[in-house]
Structure 1
Amino acid sequence: MDFLLLDDRANLKLSIIRKLEQHYSFSERKDSLCEQLHISQYLLERSIIEINEDLKRFELINEMELIEQNNEIILFQESQISSSIVEERYLKYSLEFTLLQTIFFNQFTSIKKYGEKQGMSRTVVYKIVDRIRQELAQYDIKLSKTFQLIGNEMIIRQYFSMLYYRIYKDSDELYNQSDILSVNELLSAIRLQCEEATNFYLFKHYVFVMLERVKRKQNYFLPSDFKSADFDKEKFIYQTIERWANHTLQGTNREREVEIRGMLRQLGVYRMEFCDLENVRVKKYASQLKEQFLLYPELMLTGQEFWDSINMTIYQHTFITPLIDLTLRVIDLDFFYERYPLVFDICQTFIYQLKKDEFTFSKKSLFFNLLLVVSQQYDQESEKSTINIHVNFTQGEKYNQFIQSQILIFDSFSINFQPVVHPNTDLIVSDYLPKTTFSARSLIWLAPPRASDWRNFGNEIVEINKKLQLNKKRM
């Protein structure tokens, strides 16, 4: 899905920052950046100027700045900031989000009046509205002639909950003071049973959005395909939310009950007891995933607790956070690919086999969260595959010890150093090729090693680790 609340210029500027951020030296040649981004040098240089102006406007210039030096662009970045923080600022102050926010809070009256207030021409406002319509249309949400949100109420609430969570995280600055007091009152009440309630930021945004929707249109809803595992009215959590709803929400008892159930549903993000793990769709997807596990019996991932976590993850992405991909930042999955190659292959194959209309707006998040669940279980039930390495440089033993200490930086892997080459040696790191190597792989390094030497070493370790995981029983 395209995210249309950031225009092409903002996306280009973010791409420049990310390219530099990912480079180990935080710098890149202009011609190389232009080639990677498919832009002219003029556009690159103009974008650098704009980025620094934006950082000043966002009051981030003391933490991040881009400098041109000869033929290079250098990123100066403090440890308290990243491209993700800059992205949040671009989004928060974008014309599209600002206008959409006025629509959500029912403050948008007409294109003419909005343009006059913001100092924009009607043509500009029409273009912004058009981008917003395109953005919302991806989720089957429409704008009426009077700029009211029309569509599936659950999807509307999900969309704005996820959007506001993406930008504001634990901040409630967006909402009015009376709603803030009301939601904090609810969280204080449920904290007696849910100690972590103060960290339910996604839940908080949902309740804020729900209050706004109810206040504006009393648009109550109950998805026809939804069932919770815990709607017991005798339980403390239900009664606590019910008391809060009775003095907060307008409407009939039936309408309030629907909203209570909607809130309990949202707590399923954090608490398993609010998830229906016996749901037919959950069982179907869990069965498909289990088929992939059966192809790798050496993983031996079993246990009810593990499969409950899998089922909960699937349930959440199906029913509770079906639009969760809206919150995603750029994620680098190389760690999982290198450290858990079999787990990565299993989860990736499962995701690829899903139909286009399955997990349409939560597929990426589902993939990432399955990786987290399965890799944690793998670490609990499996010993790390030990990689045997022989290090021998002509500079002598002290230099060998120095290289070994540097190699131990790769602490995600279990590494054993061997003083001599054995039949079970996996890798030889040296500045010459020893006569006796058996079947070990060899790397020839300069002294001291270059960045390319370390890159080659990392690639070798990844390949050896994958081979060892496939063949657990070393001969």
Structure 2
Amino acid sequence: MDIYELLDEEQRYQLFIVRLLDLTIDEYISISKLEELTGQSTFKIKKYIHNINYDLHNNGFDSKVIVQDDVVQLQDIDLKVIKLLQIHYFETSHIFPLMIYLLEGQGTIDGYAQEHFLSTSKAYAARKQLITFFKPLGIKIKKGKFAGDELMIRNSISTIIFEALNGYYCPFSDSINQAAKKVIEFLTFHFDLRLTPTQKGKLKVLTALSLVRCKNDRSLDDSFLSSNKVFQTAELNQLSAYTQVDSDKLVDELSYLLMFLYVEGLLRKADEIEFKFDYFATIDTKSQQISTQILHQVEEKYQIQLPEEISHSYRQRVRQSNRRHAIYSFYTSSFSTNKQIQSVNEVYPVYSEIIWGVIKEHLPKEQQDLNGQMVRFFYDYLFILLDILPPEQVEKPIDVFVDFSQGKEYTKFIIKQIEGFKDLNLAIGDRLTSHTEILVSNCVVPRFKGKQIVWKNPPAPSDWEVFGDSIVQVKKERLLNRDMKRLEDTGE
């Protein structure tokens, strides 16, 4: 699901350009490179850049995209500016506002055209694009109503809204937003919620969408609760009257919101609530298979036996992560480049190799796209594993020795900087030995058999890059040696 398909064509290309330039800030990006990446002409690329600058100026930003000697660069544009520009584009597109209009049941396509000063043909073209966008998700638009699996509709649309507007605000009518605020106050009071701004943003979108669906007779037909005793009748009736949702239906909707809070780990007294997990039966089975396979391969790779508490915790958290994706994706589009993914693979080569392999085995081929589900699952499974089982617990750290001619204090200063790279799993030695794998100095040391890095004084950014590359190379050599030894031991 590419939410940027809900932008008008020019907006989509313009946002692509600024996002790409931000990601590749240290690279040489020319007009011709943008032509190659977008398939657009020089004329159109220059037009898009002109439009970007116009939109930035009109939205009060003293920022611009500049072109110097065919090189395209950002000037005073950071990710905050890009996010706000993105919000502006979704607000002013023809397709995204139509989605909100139809969700709220505000009227017909002809009515939408009149309200938004569009020609009827453009409004119907936007409707066609909306239908095409939702078709692969099994969601149809019939007579201006969204139809299909209700949880799929809510998961998809809440994800679109939160991602498109970056959680900045909820785009529904004031009456819906006020009712949503009342429901959230009810949940906050009864369950002692302590939410961060982003968590509140997610809950508000889900709650508002829940009320919109009820308003259009598309409420849930089942509850995620085994018992309704968690709510008091009098208070429930008051909330029902305010939201204009039947109390029985309201309980089902509240159970949906409580399940969101549960899978996000935001319910402080979750054990006191009797949830039903039938909906997740298939997902839980798949989660068990995936987590068990990852753990087994970690044990095999490192020739270790993991404690049961680590295995249990990993299985439980993978299950929770997959449950969350099943009905509350709320993914943030990472716009991952191959370079970004490669850097993660290089820092955590063993874990990355294992997790990629397992995901490819279990995830359907149609979902194996680098900027979609595959990457999100990879990062989830990797981050959980890194939290539960940091590499330093199973891997020998890389031995590094630092020795600069400027003296002991300067050497200590460099060591402190190197120690800041905690993810690299380094051990800084106090002397040079036969076990030292990397030597960092401003002098060449004769007869040293490991990797020797000679830095400038003080070290330049290129020196740090060489250091990082050397760490990656040592890790690759270790992996190769480990695999060769295992083959020798097994006689394969």
**TM-score where L is the length of structure 1:** 0.80
Offset, 1:468? 6.1
Given candidates 316, 323, 327, the residue that maps to 1:315 is: 323
Cross-structure match for 1:378: 389
Given candidates 237, 247, 258, the residue that maps to 2:252 is: 258
Deviations 1:200-256 (A, max 9, x none): 43232122112112113x223336xxx84x5332335x8698446543465766544
Mapped partners of 2:234, 2:352: distance in 1: 42
Offset, 1:197? 4.9
Assess, with a 3 A threshold, how the Cα gap between structure 1 residues 173 and 385 changes in structure 2: closer, same or farther.
same
Cross-structure match for 2:485: none
**More divergent stretch after superposition (71-80 vs 396-405):** 396-405
Contact 1:136 1:142 in 2 (8 A): yes
Deviations 1:358-409 (A, max 9, x none): 9798554333222222211123982775322234567887876665455445
Contact 2:22 2:79 in 1 (8 A): no
Cross-structure match for 2:86: 87
Offset, 1:5? 0.4
- 1:149 equivalent to 2:154? Answer no
- 1:267 equivalent to 2:258? Answer no
Amino acid at match of 1:340: Y
Contact 1:31 1:41 in 2 (8 A): yes
Deviations 1:338-367 (A, max 9, x none): 443333223222221124289798554333
Cross-structure match for 1:365: 376
Offset, 1:452? 4.3
Contact 1:430 1:445 in 2 (8 A): yes
Assess, with a 3 A threshold, how the Cα gap between structure 1 residues 171 and 428 changes in structure 2: closer, same or farther.
closer
Cross-structure match for 1:281: 283
Contact 1:29 1:71 in 2 (8 A): yes
Amino acid at match of 1:266: F
Structure 1 segment 99-114 matched on structure 2, within 5 A? 99-111=98-110, 113-114=111-112
Mapped partners of 1:44, 1:382: distance in 2: 50
What secondary structure does 1:68 align onto? Answer: strand
Mapped partners of 1:24, 1:409: distance in 2: 23
Cross-structure match for 1:346: 354
Assess, with a 3 A threshold, how the Cα gap between structure 1 residues 203 and 395 changes in structure 2: closer, same or farther.
closer
Mapped partners of 2:410, 2:39: distance in 1: 44
What secondary structure does 2:194 align onto? Answer: helix
Assess, with a 3 A threshold, how the Cα gap between structure 1 residues 436 and 102 changes in structure 2: closer, same or farther.
same
Cross-structure match for 1:125: 123
Cross-structure match for 1:458: 468
Offset, 1:436? 1.9
Contact 1:161 1:209 in 2 (8 A): yes
Q: Which has the higher helix share?
A: 2
Cross-structure match for 2:489: none
Structure 1 segment 38-437 matched on structure 2, within 5 A? 39-59=40-60, 61-62=61-62, 64-77=63-76, 81-111=80-110, 113-144=111-142, 146-192=143-189, 193-197=191-195, 199-216=199-216, 218-222=217-221, 228=224, 230-235=225-230, 242-243=236-237, 246-248=240-242, 254-271=248-265, 273=270, 274=275, 276=277, 279-297=281-299, 298=302, 300=306, 302-303=308-309, 304-318=312-326, 320-321=327-328, 323-325=329-331, 327-331=332-336, 332-333=340-341, 336-356=344-364, 362-379=373-390, 382=393, 385-391=396-402, 404=415, 406-418=417-429, 421-430=432-441, 434-437=445-448
Assess, with a 3 A threshold, how the Cα gap between structure 1 residues 366 and 17 changes in structure 2: closer, same or farther.
same
**More divergent stretch after superposition (183-192 vs 355-364):** 355-364
Mapped partners of 2:10, 2:182: distance in 1: 42
Mapped partners of 1:469, 1:82: distance in 2: 42
Mapped partners of 2:30, 2:215: distance in 1: 54
**TM-score where L is the length of structure 2:** 0.78
Mapped partners of 1:422, 1:239: distance in 2: 74
What secondary structure does 1:412 align onto? Answer: helix
Cross-structure match for 2:488: none
Amino acid at match of 1:86: L
Assess, with a 3 A threshold, how the Cα gap between structure 1 residues 432 and 260 changes in structure 2: closer, same or farther.
closer
Amino acid at match of 1:184: K
Offset, 1:257? 4.2
Assess, with a 3 A threshold, how the Cα gap between structure 1 residues 239 and 386 changes in structure 2: closer, same or farther.
farther
Number of equivalences: 458
* CA-atom RMSD in angstroms: 3.8
* Structure 1 stretches lacking a partner, 5+ long: none
Offset, 1:294? 0.9
Assess, with a 3 A threshold, how the Cα gap between structure 1 residues 401 and 43 changes in structure 2: closer, same or farther.
farther
Assess, with a 3 A threshold, how the Cα gap between structure 1 residues 182 and 345 changes in structure 2: closer, same or farther.
same
What secondary structure does 2:64 align onto? Answer: strand
What secondary structure does 2:75 align onto? Answer: strand
